[in-house]
Amino acid sequence: MKQVFTAVALGSLFAGAPAFADAEVGKPAPAFTLKDEAGKEHSLSQYKGKVVVLEWTNPECPFVKRHYEADTMANTLKGFDAKKVVWLAVDSTAHNTPEKSAAWKKDEGFTYPVLQDASGATGKAYGAKTTPHMYVIDEQGVVRYAGAIDDDPRGKNEKKVNHVKTTVDALLGGKPVPASTTTPYGCSVKYKSAS
């Protein structure tokens, strides 16, 4: 009898359902609580009512460096109403430390927090694969955009479309999001087990 049960149970396992999905456009964003480089805690839930932009980052990545040299992130944020939009950088690099983030923030002179996710749990919950990898979450906590910062992976186009800007502008203006998923580009996120 036991064998029968085992066989049957295995059968039901095989027929089992698909796994949890990553942060999906149109679905509630995975919750998180992470400390920033100064040790202050940030939860997604505390920003309910605001549009939240998540930027997976790694100061060692050439793609991130290029965007910080061009001030892409700071300029994008500058274009938004600061009362309605929160920008959070997340660093899931295994060997990153709050001290490194703090030094980088000082060098680059930006204002938003750098959330410390060295365990990679939040990065993996979102399915963040690259740096930069951008997510826009609306006032209700629903993911509305996932993908690249812009349509110019090589940094060579004269005119580029900043997907985060178009998404946030559309959300605040009550318009449909023009492109809700794009293919992110950049370095892979250097998750813990990769070290």
Partner 1 sequence: MKHTVSKRLVPVGGLCLWLLATVAHAALPPSAVATSAPDEGDPRVEASLLVDATQVKPGDTFRVGVRFRLDPGWHIYWKNPGDSGLETEIDWDTPGSTVGPLQWPFPSTFRTPDGFIVTHGYEGEVLLFANATASAQAQGSLQLSAAVNALVCEVHCIPADMMLTRTIPVGPQTLPDAEAMPTFDAARARVPRPMADSGYDVKVELATKPLTAGQPFTGTLTLTSTKGAPLPPLEKDFFVPARIPGVDVVHLKETAPGRFALEGKAEPDVPQAEPRLEGVLRLGTAATGYHALEVDAPLAPVVAAAAVPGAAPAAVAKPPSIKDSLAAVKPAAVVPAAAPAESSLGLGMALVFAFLGGALLNLMPCVFPVLALKAYGFTRMVRQEQGRVGAHAAAYAGGIVGSMLLLAGAVLAVRAGGAGVGWGFQFQEPLFVAAVSAVLVAFALNLFGVFNVGLDGTSLAGKVDQSHGLMHSAGEGVLAVVLATPCSAPLLGTAVGFAFAAGPITVLAVFTALGLGLALPFCVLVLVPGLAKRLPKPGAWMERFKQVLGFALLGTTVWLVWVMGGLAGVDGMARLLAFLVAVGLGTWVYGQSQTQEGGRRWASLGVAVVVLVGAGVATLRFDDAAAATPRATSSTVAQAQPWSDEAVSAALAAGQPVFVDFTADWCLTCKFNERTVLSREEVRAAFTEHQVAFFVADWTRRDARITARLAEHGRAGVPMYLVLDPAAPDAPEVLPELLTVDSVVDAVKRASACSPSNRADGSKVLCAARLPKP
**Which residues of the chain form contacts with partner 1 (CB under 8 A)?**
1, 5-6, 8-22, 24-26, 30-34, 60-63, 117, 119-122, 124-125, 127, 129-130, 142, 144, 147-148, 151, 153-154, 161, 163, 176-194
CB of 54 to partner 1, least distance (A): 15
* Cis, bond preceding 113 (omega within 30 deg of 0): no
Residue with smaller CB distance to partner 1, 110 or 181: 181
Q: Is 127 exposed, middle or buried (0-12, 13-18, 19+ CB in 10 A)?
A: middle
Q: Residue 94 carries which DSSP code?
A: T
CB of 14 to partner 1, least distance (A): 6
CB of 191 to partner 1, least distance (A): 6
Q: Partners of 33 in the beta sheet?
A: 43
CB of 126 to partner 1, least distance (A): 9
CA dist., res. 153 & res. 151, Å (int): 6
